[in-house]
Structure 1
Amino acid sequence: MLLLVTLAIFVPLGTLGHGPWTGHKVIKVTPNTEQEVKHLQNLLFEERHLDVWRAPSSVNNSVDIRLSPFEYDDVTNYLLEKDMFVKIMIEDVQQIIDEQKAYRNIKVPKANQFEYSKYHQLDDIYDWMQNITNVYKDKASMFNITKSYEGRELVGIKISTQPQNADRPAFWIEGGIHPEEWISPATVVFMAGQMLDLYKLDMELTEMVDSFDWYILPVTNPDGYAYTFVDDSTRLWRKTRSKHGACRGVDANRNWDWDWCKSGASKDPCSNIYCGPNAFSEVEIKGVADYMSKIENLKGFINFHSYTQQWLSPWASTNTLPVDFKIQDEGSTVAVKALEQVYGTKFAHGEIANRASVASGLGVDWVYGKLGAKFAYDVQLRDDGKYGFLLPDDQIIPSGKETLEALKALAKYVRNN
């Protein structure tokens, strides 16, 4: 196994160019054989500090890895020695970040002035939530789940247009569990706004809203999301901000109490897929789980992520298909067909472990396995690799529109099944 040069650890941020990510590249490698999949898995197991944007799963499914200038030659030479073709997906990460900086300085306090076409900081999203629930107080309200590790409120919006009824089906939507995936909260916020602004104007949307009590959590990991706006060096932060051992943070989507830390997760506190010292160690995830457990008749759950354009259902922790896979995947099929009709964007679908990669301690598995919500999904939004986690602002509205059409179609399918 190759040995990577560790000099990068001791170089102060920003000394190599105009920013901390100057010279960092994202490479794409597509394994053509099972042996090549194993080579990639071995590489990433031995070199655990590498920032993997898309993990190895199976033949013909590409793997994306961010590499510093100090890592690039060693890693690419190793892959070339294994006769694997390396494609540069992003030539310079800092350049992409610099190009998008102009859209960050947003201070819009009123709901009717909120710019859905731009990425917003946490406080701006919370201001929008407060204002829009005030504007539509007859059908929307804020709910409080808990306080984060750093003391921030973890809050969501409930949309309910019908009289309170214990038998009324519920649907939970969340985003921002991985902070670097900015398109996730932005898409969730856009869809929630449309559900309220277009109610009674769009009949299909009205039918969707009327069919369920909607619980919408735009930012599941508020500390981590706020941290990605501190400066360029924090933009690609993935975890929570808790302190466990030598490094900060836990991968919040490896911390759920379902097959916790069995596979596709790490017990190394410095790993980007660190599962935590125990299941539900993260106050945010424990709070969300406790809150959802009290919702009667929960039928649907979607955790929005980026990227790779996939609509995925349980299980994540095992390649064995669940008993409900057929009906779950039919729901995925309905959703991705409706999504494609908007802009032609193609999403794959299937079971997480077989379609993406095996991973344990995921929220989608816990919601399906523990709460019995049959229609539970992990959705990977745009794009398919050109920008990865650094999707430009001009794709927020298209992502929101196509995903909302998918949600309409899925909600109708869930209601009828």
Structure 2
Amino acid sequence: MLKLFALVLLLSGVALAADHYDGYKIYDINTRNAFEKQLLLRLSSNEEYDFFDLPRSLDAPSRVMVKPGDQEGFEHLLAKYNVDFSVLSEDLGVSLRQEREDNQNQRLMNLRSAGRSISFTAFHRHAEINAYLDELAAAYPSRVSVQVAGKSYEKRDIKTITITNGDGKTGKNVIFLDAGIHAREWIAHAGALYVIHQLAENYAANANLLKNFDWVILPVVNPDGYEYTHTSTRMWRKTRKPITSACYGTDANRNFDFHWGEVGASSYSCSDTFKGETAFSEPETQLLRDLLLGLSGRGKFYLTLHSYGNYLLYPWGYTSALPSSWRDIDEVAQAGAAAIKSATGTKYTVGSSTNVLYAAAGGSDDYAFGVAKFPVSITMELPAGGTGFNPSTSQIQSFVAETWVGIKAMAQKVTEKY
């Protein structure tokens, strides 16, 4: 029955209109000095440009999406200052349509199989993800439970899954993982699902991670935005609660009440980084807040999955200053980076959010550390695929498997320390 429902959902989704992104270009920009980097930082405040990645390091290129009407002026400005750039995608719309068709085909193949509601050969819709959580709770009732933590603005069930070793002991320390605060970062949702799969369905190999810790995982923080990226606007980032008649949504990762709105967040309601009308204005961030605060004393490791950029970031996001215990967090993050480098050769950059990328207040990682008192709080930015946020379905398995290597190493370090 669950698969039949998902099939109906899939087929209905095919007919829905999608913002086409025809003629949108993706640029990679290489900066050679601090002036050029500062120029890009100033350009990133222009709401017409969507900067996918804006690293602080001069060695790493920045990536930006520009719509057709702005491209001539954008290229002219870069040329005026002799800034080196290349065009990664001449027409994003073409590749997105192909990727949408491929994903639908892969989902159909999975729905016709006899396996679970999800696979790691497709990006799955919110209803399919919730169905998978329920399947696991039914299959492993002594070790897995699922709760409806609350509802999104559009009344979708937001579910958490708790995975234990089934010994019945209560009050254990907790590792809390979430994904999908930003809607368009599909590989993050897939990464969370792979962690769930490993802990629940590959329990024997990972029992040590559950001996003294329970895991609580929220795989889709922002289901309204996530569904919107499937049915309408692929690069949508925010929630979906209306702000004005023309502007929808808040950047949930600027909406937490810890130095809220001080830096790196916009007051303009149409902006991708809109901080919200108030802190915790969104039901989704209120829900996550309550989950984190409810684990006070037990919560030892908060890990939030994003994409993209190959980063392991920790507080603070609102200032370049470091917390007094930063070395403890850095040790955990470095363990994850080293494990991934050893397993696949992929390099992750480790450091505080502000010092590696840019200052941005109101993030969930700062809140988990500064208010909910998780001693280890890390944002993991998974690798880029496609033009950044749109890995192909063929990349999912390798990306999530690699991510699990790092998460497992970090979790092991946390279980040793706490």
Q: TM-score, normalised by structure 2?
A: 0.90
Contact 2:144 2:163 in 1 (8 A): yes
Match of 2:317 in 1: 316
> How far apart, CA to CA, are the structure 2 residues paired with 1:73 and 1:230?
30
> How far apart, CA to CA, are the structure 1 residues paired with 2:319 and 2:169?
36
> How far apart, CA to CA, are the structure 2 residues paired with 1:387 and 1:206?
37
Match of 2:47 in 1: 48
Map residues 9-408 of structure 1 onto 2, 5 A cutoff.
20-45=20-45, 47-55=46-54, 57-100=56-99, 101-105=101-105, 106=107, 108=111, 112=116, 114-165=118-169, 167-200=171-204, 202=205, 205-231=206-232, 234-245=233-244, 246-296=246-296, 297-383=298-384, 387-408=387-408
Contact 2:330 2:350 in 1 (8 A): yes
Query: 1:311 is paired with a residue of what secondary structure?
Result: strand
Q: CA deviation at 1:386?
A: 5.1
> How far apart, CA to CA, are the structure 2 residues paired with 1:386 and 1:392?
6
Q: CA deviation at 1:341?
A: 2.6
Contact 2:118 2:129 in 1 (8 A): no
> How far apart, CA to CA, are the structure 1 residues paired with 2:329 and 2:75?
39
Contact 2:117 2:128 in 1 (8 A): no
Q: CA deviation at 1:39?
A: 1.3
Q: CA deviation at 1:165?
A: 4.5
> How far apart, CA to CA, are the structure 2 residues paired with 1:303 and 1:322?
19
> How far apart, CA to CA, are the structure 2 residues paired with 1:114 and 1:371?
32
> How far apart, CA to CA, are the structure 2 residues paired with 1:294 and 1:111?
35
Q: CA deviation at 1:111?
A: 5.6
For residues 226-278 of structure 1, give each alpha carbon's deviation from its aligned partner in whole angstroms, at most 9, with x where no partner exists: 111114xx111100000112400000111011111111110000000000001
Contact 1:104 1:120 in 2 (8 A): no
Runs (4+) of structure 1 exceeding 6 A deviation are none
Contact 1:228 1:236 in 2 (8 A): yes
Q: CA deviation at 1:167?
A: 4.2
> How far apart, CA to CA, are the structure 2 residues paired with 1:317 and 1:113?
40
Q: CA deviation at 1:292?
A: 1.7
Contact 1:162 1:210 in 2 (8 A): no
Letter of the 2:141 counterpart: K
Cα RMSD of the aligned pairs, angstroms, is: 1.8
Letter of the 1:242 counterpart: K
Structure 1 stretch 62-71 or stretch 279-288: which is displaced more?
Answer: 62-71
Match of 1:11 in 2: none
Letter of the 2:74 counterpart: V
Structure 1 stretch 98-107 or stretch 187-196: which is displaced more?
Answer: 98-107
Q: TM-score, normalised by structure 1?
A: 0.90
Structure 1 stretch 52-61 or stretch 154-163: which is displaced more?
Answer: 52-61
Identify if the C-alpha distance between structure 1 residues 387 and 406 changes in structure 2 by more than 3 Å, giving closer, same or farther.
Answer: same
Letter of the 1:210 counterpart: K
For residues 386-410 of structure 1, give each alpha carbon's deviation from its aligned partner in whole angstroms, at most 9, with x where no partner exists: 5200111111111111111111211
How many residue pairs get matched?
393
